[in-house]
Structures are given as C-alpha cells and as structure tokens.
Amino acid sequence: MTHHPAAPHAAPNPASTPTSTPTSTPTSTPTSTLGAARRPKRGGAASEWTIDATDLVKTYPAGRGKEPVRALDGLSLQVRPGEVFGLLGPNGAGKSTTVRLLTTLSRPDSGRATVAGHDVLRDPGAVRHAIGLVSQRPSSAPLMTGRESLELAARVQGLDRATARRRSGELLERFGLAPAADRLTRTYSGGMNRRLDVAIGLVNRPAVLFLDEPTTGLDPEARAQLWAEIARMASVEETTVLLTTHYLDEADHLSDRLAIVDRGRVVAQGTPDALKSELRGDRLVVELVDPTSGAAAAERLSRLPSLFDIVTEGRQVRGRTDQGAGVLPVALAELERWGVAVASATVARPSLDDVYLRHAGRTFEEVGS
Ligand SMILES: Nc1ncnc2c1ncn2[C@@H]1O[C@H](COP(=O)(O)OP(=O)(O)OP(=O)(O)O)[C@@H](O)[C@H]1O
C-alpha cells in the first residue's frame, strides 16, 4: 500500500485525495447507528457478511516483454460483522492488493465485492464513508503533535471543532497516548506512532477498519501492546477489523477467523483453532546435524508406523504423529541405529505454519516471510 486516506498532511491538497481517499461523514455514522451500518441491507435483504468478496482478479503490468503479474487470482473471502479477520500470507501473496480493492483505492479486473453492504465498484463513495484504513505508511506528520494529528484527521473527516477535540482526547486516552499527546510525533517510538496511526484510522468511527500489516517493524513489546489495543478496540468500538499480516503468531493471536492467502487465492479460511484441528495429530520436527542426511533420515522415519506426512526442508525433517511425545524415543532410536546424527527433536501441537504447509505445499520460512 502506498497511500493513507486519513493522512493529515494530505489534507491541504484536495487534488491528491478525491478518488483515493476513503472519507467519511462522522455525523452520519454515530455510535448508535453503527449496528445498523454493520448489518447492511443488500437488495432488500440483510447481508450476512460485512465484507463479501467473490473471485477477485487483479493483474499488474510487469514491464516490457514480461507477463503481467496476477496479484489476485480469484480471491474470495467473507467477514462477519464485528469480527477481527486476519488475512495471512507471505510477502507478495496479494494481501495489500486485496485491501486496495476493498477500500476502493484500486479496481478489480473481475470479480465483485461489497463492504458494509455497498458494492466497491458501483458505490465506492458509500464504501469510503463506512471504512477506515491504516496502511503500511505512517499517517501522522512528524512536525505535529499526536493531538494535532488526530484533530486534523477528524476535521478532514468532517467533524466540527468541538467534536474533533472530544474524539481525539478519547482516542489518545484509549491508545495510551494521553501523556505524550502534546509532543511532536517525531519524538514518538515506533509503537507509539503505530498506535497513533490506528487511532487516526478510527477517528470517524468506521464500521470497518482495514489494518495493513499493523505491527511490521515493531519490537515484541510494542507488538504485544498494539495487539492488546486492537483486540480491545474491536470490542469497545464494535468495529469489524480486517488485518493483513505475514506473522503467523499475530494471525493466531488476534483473528477470530482468518484466511490464508497464497499466490493471490484464499487456500484456507476459518478460526485458527478449526484450521489447526483439521490437521490430524501432533508435529514432529527433527533437526539434523548434517543437512545432507535429510533424505536418509526421512526414508528411515517413514518406515515407522507411528509417523506420517514426512517432509524434509534443509536440515529439518518434519512428520506428523498420533502418538504425541511417545514417538520421540522411537524416532531417535531409529535414526541412531542408522547413524543419522540429530541436533534436536521436538513434538508440538499443530501450528498455523503446519496449516499453511498443508494448503500451500511449503512453509512460511521457505517462502521467506
Ligand atoms: N503496482 C504494482 N505493479 C506491479 N506489480 C505489483 C504492484 N503491486 C503489487 N504488485 C505485485 O503483486 C503481487 C501481490 O502484491 P501485494 O502487495 O498485494 O502482496 P502482499 O501479500 O501484500 O505482500 P507485502 O506483504 O509484501 O505487501 C506481488 O507479486 C507484487 O509484486
């Protein structure tokens, strides 16, 4: 993503914002009507989904003589009202492109999508009124204070001065920024700036908030703090949240439901627990001393009846087992018998990485996220 709709510094230049800036009329979506906004009518019938995307295709030109890049290849997803929905995938999977289409910053080549009951192609203005977007780029200006950034964003969104001040104060409190409210944002830590970005995305009380890779580049403490804010915000503000991430633990921790995206398609969708429990058994990971012994180790382990789905990756051999930790001594004895030196071995419950491996045929590490 290259654009932030609520960026206060973009405000003085209306020419830079009209088609690419989701705006809203906050007075038209007060808290009391959010419930209605989140249970929109479509064709007279209440839509079950706050975001409903079907078969989205998007290609980008790749330069002279090159095949176009098929960023989205028939992507479909459905997000329920009020849930935090994670879009999980490695770099280049198509997550930002999906956000761009759903926030009307870009048009699909084909497919259709509604957000808060409005069609992104037929009624982009209504979509923009209903959403907030926190893109990967910072949205506050370094030479403004946190309070000024929020108040300006609120004014750009159409709030009157008093309401803008009140809403900004509320958000500064909620995001733990009140003590630093009157400091220039260039003195903020990465985590504080990101919390301010999210606060700015919420200034117009959007029915749907898009967060594109909200914690990328933050240290673990700042990530944990932002996770807590996002979870609290989703319940307090009653906002439906779609967040993109390439962090497995983030998707696991934050999402009520998630979609795993690979090469422009959703390859699996569900709650993190449901996705993991689809996988039978626990996961055995054996780290070998000598990476060239992977094939031999896999061959030996595949002879054990208690192990299945064995794959090798670098110096690791992975398998699945129904016998829990009981498989460890058996596997280690078998490898020792054949002279395969083992550096470490673990048995663990299935992770989202296992889910990704099952559906995409490779691990996150392999893709380089
Ligand atoms: N404007 C563009 N022009 C050409 N190719 C693009 C453009 N935007 C995205 N792409 C390509 O489309 C594919 C999907 O990109 P996208 O940014 O949606 O992925 P992503 O999952 O969000 O990854 P990241 O986390 O790196 O942003 C990639 O191959 C990317 O290089």
**Mean pLDDT over all residues of the chain?**
83
Tens digit of pLDDT for each residue in 220-278?
A: 888 888 888 888 878 777 889 999 998 888 999 999 999 999 999 999 999 998 888 88
71 lines ligand 1 (CB under 6 A): yes
| Per-residue pLDDT reduced to its tens digit, 96-109 | 999 999 999 999 99
* pLDDT at site 40: 39
Q: How confident is the model at residue 39 (pLDDT cuts 50, 70, 90)?
A: very low
Nearest protein CA to atom 2 of ligand 1, as residue: 60
Is the CB of residue 90 below 6 angstroms from any atom belonging to ligand 1?
Answer: no
Nearest CA to ligand 1 atom 26: 91
Distance 50 CA to ligand 1 centre (A): 25
Is there a contact between 138 and 193 (Cβ–Cβ < 8 Å)? yes
- 32 against 340, higher pLDDT: 340
Q: Give residue 29's pLDDT band: very low, low, confident or very high (50, 70, 90).
A: very low
CB-ligand 1 contact for 100 (6 Å cutoff): no
Q: What is the pLDDT of residues 262-284, one digit of tens each?
A: 999 999 999 998 888 887 788 89
ipTM above 0.85, yes or no: yes
Least confident segment among 11-20, 59-68, 135-144, 211-220? 11-20
Atom from ligand 1 closest to the CA of residue 72 = 14
Q: Which residues pair with 261 in a beta bridge?
A: 266
Residue 147 scores a pLDDT above 80 = yes
Domains along the sequence of the chain with CATH: 8-275 (3.40.50.300), 279-363 (3.30.70.100)
3-state secondary structure the chain: CCCCCCCHHHCCCHHHCCCCCCCCCHHHCCHHHHHHHHCCEECCEECCCCEEEEEEEEEECCCCCCCCEEEEEEEEEEECCCCEEEEECCCCCCHHHHHHHHCCCCCCCEEEEEECCEECCCCHHHHHHHEEEECCCCCCCCCCEHHHHHHHHHHHCCCCHHHHHHHHHHHHHHCCCHHHCCCEHHHCCHHHHHHHHHHHHCCCCCCEEEEECCCCCCCHHHHHHHHHHHHHHHHHCCCEEEEEECCHHHHHHHCCEEEEEECCEEEEEECHHHHHHCCCCEEEEEEECCHHHHHHHHHHHCCCCCEEEEEEECCEEEEEECCHHHHHHHHHHHHHHCCCCEEEEEEECCCHHHHHHHHHCCCHHHHCC
Determine contact, residues 81/235, Cβ cutoff 8 Å: no
Residue 246, ligand 1, Cβ within 6 A: yes
Q: Name the pLDDT band for 368 (thresholds 50, 70, 90).
A: low
pLDDT in tens, 116-129: 999 999 999 999 99
| Ligand 1 pocket, residue 96 CB under 6 Å | yes
Is 47 near ligand 1, meaning CB less than 6 Å away?
Answer: no
The residue count of the chain comes to 369
The distance from CA 270 to its chain's CA centroid, rounded to whole angstroms, is 14
* pLDDT for 201 beyond 60: yes
